[in-house]
Amino acid sequence: MDLKSNHTSPVLTDPAPITKSRLGVPSSLLPYSPMGAAFPAGLFLTIPRKKTGILEDFRSSSWLDAMKSSSPPHKRMVKGVNNENESSDADADADDDAAYCTWMVKYPSALSTFEQITNYAKGKRIALFLDYDGTLSPIVDNPDCAFMSDAMRTAVQKVARYFPTAIISGRSRDKVYEFVGLTELYYAGSHGMDIIGPVRQSISDNHSNCIRFTDKQGKEVNLFQPAGEFLPMIEEVLRLLVESTKDIRGAKVENNKFCVSVHYRNVDEKSWKTVVQRVHDVLKDYPHLRLTHGRKVLEVRPVINWDKGKAVTFLLESLGLSDSDDVLPIYIGDDRTDEDAFKVLRERKRGYSILVSSVPKESNAIYSLRDPSEVMEFLKSLVVWKKSSAL
């Protein structure tokens, strides 16, 4: 199938016209709706007719290029294997370093500007938001083995003693909790579509999909799942994607509860086109699901007006920290989906967003950190600063 054709596609075209029911639920979703479920007004996303951003990347037939560039290449790992190449490797490395230094003028290191950051933070209540993959754990070939180090876990645990801290991940909430294993944090899985946060009356009043319950530690918490209606559809698509990609060597489909990831990191580049084709073939019958891409991964998610940025706003509200001049949210992330959160902080003109990247890339973030080890150093520095400023 030609991706440039007019064939109905979740990636290439707008979702079918939506007939809203009295609940505000698109009629095409009603068979899936549990009785009496309420879908929050305004949550359903209308994909703009003028294509922009990620969807356009795919539409403009450059999806294969996008797939290729969707994860920074490892810096020339094999050096000097062939002596003839040594000097050209060195030249290329010097070029890369120079480009990175130039880029850092626009996105200064959060470590070298740490004093500036903490000067501004004086007297303010910091709230910390952390992405997981590529931020707290290094990117690895097998998504099931993206473990965080004990040192990182300790750093996160310590920082959470001083500042409310949440992990916001594309993974399922259970999976990211399994990796992190710290009960003192808040967790948002499925790109913010599955949040456990503190109980606050105004939140339950404003968000109909909130359920209050007592967690395993005996703490009262709020569970918020704005895409709850999509669960049966996502489970169906998960099964179809597993089936349709099972013969592609290296392809891996991951269940992220309200989203599905189709990994192609371990697929031979010659078969990447087949991967996107198969995903496209499945999704063409699901106009209420959309496709975005992350680091060597295609991500299927519901077409709702909810993302990591909305999750940050929601958590700040839950923590009683929204709309207050003395609050300083800090968000650290490495991926495209983190850009939604960076944008929110930028638009609110409040808070600091930090992009984790070892290669130059355009971002809505203000600062940068090179890799998870620098993230750990930053978290440790926050603790040292907080302790010393309390003396």
Ligand X SMILES: O=P(O)(O)OC[C@H]1O[C@H](O[C@H]2O[C@H](CO)[C@@H](O)[C@H](O)[C@H]2O)[C@H](O)[C@@H](O)[C@@H]1O
Rounded Cα distance between 132 and 373, Å, is 13
**What is the total residue count of the chain?**
391
Sheet containing strand 252-255, strands side by side: 252-255, 260-263, 297-302, 289-294
Q: Sketch the per residue contact string, 280 through 319, with ligand X: x for CB under 6 A, - otherwise.
A: --------------xxxx-x--------------------
Q: Which of 57, 307, 335, 339 binds ligand X (CB under 6 A)?
A: 335
Least distance CB 138 / ligand X (angstroms):
7
Total binding residues toward ligand X, as defined by CB under 6 A:
24
* Site for ligand X contains 139 (CB under 6 A): yes
Sheet containing strand 327-333, strands side by side: 210-214, 220-224, 194-198, 186-189, 165-168, 125-130, 327-333, 352-356, 367-369
Least distance CB 202 / ligand X (angstroms):
27
* Site for ligand X contains 340 (CB under 6 A): no
- Burial (CB < 10 A; 0-12, 13-18, 19+), residue 277, is middle
Least distance CB 272 / ligand X (angstroms):
13
* Site for ligand X contains 133 (CB under 6 A): yes
* Site for ligand X contains 339 (CB under 6 A): no
The 3-state secondary structure of 329-357 reads: EEEEECCCCHHHHHHHHHHCCCCEEEEEC
* φ, ψ dihedrals at 130, nearest 5°: -125, 135
Comparison of 10 and 26: residue with beta carbon closer to ligand X:
10
Q: Which of 165, 169, 244, 381 binds ligand X (CB under 6 A)?
A: 169
Q: Which of 132, 187, 306, 331 binds ligand X (CB under 6 A)?
A: 132
* Site for ligand X contains 143 (CB under 6 A): yes
Stretch of residues binding ligand X (CB under 6 A), selected from 13-21, 80-88, 154-162, 259-267: 259-267
Asked whether 330 and 128 are in contact (CB, 8 A), the reply is: yes
Rounded Cα distance between 328 and 281, Å, is 44
* Site for ligand X contains 41 (CB under 6 A): no
Binding site for ligand X (CB under 6 A): 131-134, 139-141, 143, 146, 169-171, 254, 256, 261, 263, 265, 294-297, 299, 335, 337
